[in-house]
Chain A
Amino acid sequence: MKLRRTISIIIKEYTHIFRDWRSLLIIILMPVLMIILYGYAITLDMKNLTFAVIDDSKTPESRELIRGFTENRFFILRYTGIKRNEIESLFKKRDIQMALVIPGDFSESLISKRITKVQLIVDAADSNVGTFINNYSNRVAQLFNEKLNHRSPGILGLEPRILYNPDMKSANFFVPGLVALILLLICSLLTSITITREKETGTLEQILVSPVHPIEIVVGKVVPYITLGFFNGIIIIIFARLLFKVPINGSLSLIAVLSLIYIFVALSFGLMISAVAKTQQIAMLATLMATVLPTIMLSGFIFPIASMPLPLQYISKVVPATYFLIIIRGIMLKGIGLAELWQHAAALSGIGLFMLSIATIRFKTTLE
């Protein structure tokens, strides 16, 4: 590898990037737009679940129970005083996710210390919502019992202590994941079109008749885009912090260093595609397919890897985002350092180097 030749390519790539300021603007603004869109759209927080109540009792006790549901941000009481046979159609219209039926003898039964049953009907078409309503209703009932029998002896109570994301905000979980997704997508798109563009314009041919070695081309193309990708990474993290108040408990410089490795992986991946694909369109399409889906489905971005079938778990081991998600969530939420993360960082570097070698080798053969 000759430095002089590599530097010429680096300078040329920088010139391309800064001369085309419209594309540069898109490259910078697109991640911001994506983090705003995805950040607000993807949430598993339960809010504004609507429910109906049929209160046949109409006593202070029954109103106390209903208040147990309405005094928080999760439930909205939408229908009262409806008939029993109306409930089903409300469920079918998706007007309510839950219905509470309080029997007429509710108060009398409680006062005479009998076991009192209240009917709870739950729409569990979305199983997450169903589980949530069920759990929350149990909690309401428990609180109601405690209030009613102050001196009830010996009831077991769990006192949970929730670590790393005490408010259980799903944004704290998703936004670091978005950093991984957006960085991968943008960086691999950037490089995936650089070589194919030169194939289309014919300039690649001119480079190939020169004594330039493929590794010089590949390195010359990666270096400028690393700086661009790094700049993008900084912007994304700033926005994650400002808009979604995601905590950054660990070291910022460690995030920076490990993001650089991840960006390197993404760029190498783009180059690998670029070395094989014939046109810019094919390169872009292949990059989109190969980055977005595996990153969302198989990296632990939404679904925990441990609950996937075994073959998918193996696949997740070669998805770069799997490692970066552990890294960035670990640093941002848990504040952990290199001592816990070095293996993941090493795995990422390995994947990156592997892809870059494939790009170089494939690149050589396509010319011949």
Chain B
Amino acid sequence: METDNAVSVSKLSRHFGKFIAVDEISFEVNKGEIFGFLGANGAGKTTAIKMLCGLLKPTSGEATVAGFSINSETAKIKKNIGYMSQKFSLYDDLTVKENIEFYGGIYGLSREKISGKTDQLISELNLDKMKNTLTRSLPLGWKQRLALSTSLLHDPSIIFLDEPTGGVDPISRRNFWRIIYEIASSGKTVFVTTHYMDEAEYCNRVSIMHKGKIIELGTPTDLKQKYNKTTMQDIFIHIVGQN
């Protein structure tokens, strides 16, 4: 199935017992777009993103990621997406180099390709001197950039970032968004969740999630006009406060 959309979601729901974490959401993400997924903690962002990555089965509804169904083609989806969670899932007791080699390996990259990619990444991230130090001793900002880079090793067309900047200082956050722009300009789709409203300004389009539903969706500029506010922060407080 070939579509113009990187992600296409239709009435997607996920229940945990009686609790409805995601409630019939529908939206589309265009190719090459930076799509922001906003919402307070517990709004259902992480549950939604996990369903799109094939980590959770939906209770009902359908979605396609990179043209593949999340209900029946998760194996194909996994080859085409990158994922970075809020925990920067690197192994603390492995060195920078070992982490890159491991994640390259589980995507089935060949030995030559891994060693080429490893050298490339290490020089891009200016980690030459640190490549044999344990990841544990890296500063948080560097860990985060390393985690992002490892999730791009297999050259996915879509990358999901689940609160990638949590707990990181403002300068590192700014640098991180610079990288996100570079990724998007190379034609990849970026799907990012955040609760930092200043970051929402950097997105092409944002959706605001509240209690499992998407209650607003549009470009930051359109939303500011619609609600007659100057910042995304004001819009968010306005909308979420109303609901």
Contact = CB atoms under 8 A, between A and B. Distances in A.
Interface of A: 2, 4-5, 7-9, 11-12, 15-16, 19-20, 201-203, 205-212, 367-368
What secondary structure prevails in chain A residues at the interface with B? helix
A220 to B, nearest CB: 9
B89 A201 contact: yes
Given A202-B85, A209-B78, A210-B78, 13 more contacts: A2-B108, A4-B108, A5-B107, A5-B108, A8-B102, A11-B105, A16-B93, A202-B87, A202-B89, A205-B85, A206-B89, A211-B79, A211-B108
User: Taking each of B90, B94, B104, B108, which has the highest tally of chain A beta carbons within 10 Å of its own beta carbon?
Assistant: B108
Contacts of B110: 4
B89 A15 contact: no
Contact of B98 (A7, A15, A212): A15
A5 B106 CA distance: 4
Contacts of A12: 91, 94, 98, 102, 105
Contacts of A2: 108
23 contacts: A2-B108, A4-B105, A5-B106, A5-B108, A8-B104, A9-B105, A12-B98, A15-B93, A19-B93, A19-B94, A202-B85, A203-B89, A203-B91, A205-B55, A205-B85, A206-B85, A209-B54, A209-B81, A209-B83, A210-B103, A210-B106, A211-B107, A367-B55
Nearest to B83: A209
Contacts of B103: 206, 210
Interface residues of B, number: 30
Contacts of A5: 105-108
A206 B107 CA distance: 11
B138 to A, nearest CB: 15
A203 B90 contact: yes
A205 B90 CA distance: 11
A2 B87 CA distance: 28
Instruction: List 8 tightest A-B contacts by C-beta distance, closest first.
Output: A8-B105, A206-B89, A202-B87, A209-B83, A203-B89, A211-B78, A368-B57, A202-B89
Q: Is the interface of B mostly helix, strand, loop or mixed?
A: loop
Contact of A212 (B81, B87, B106): B106
Interface string B74-96: 01001101010101011111100
Nearest to A216: B106
A206 B105 CA distance: 13
Contacts of A206: 83, 85, 89, 103, 151
Nearest to A368: B57
A23 B69 CA distance: 44
A12 to B, nearest CB: 5
Contacts of B87: 201-202, 205
A15 to B, nearest CB: 6
A205 B89 contact: yes
A213 to B, nearest CB: 8
B91 A211 contact: no
B62 interface: no
B105 A7 contact: yes
Contacts of B53: 209
B239 to A, nearest CB: 30
B56 interface: yes
Most buried by A among B55, B102, B106: B106
Nearest to A209: B83
Contacts of A367: 55
B101 interface: yes
B56 A368 contact: yes
Interface core residue of A12, A20, A368 (most chain B CB under 10 Å): A12
Contacts of B106: 5, 8-9, 207, 210-212
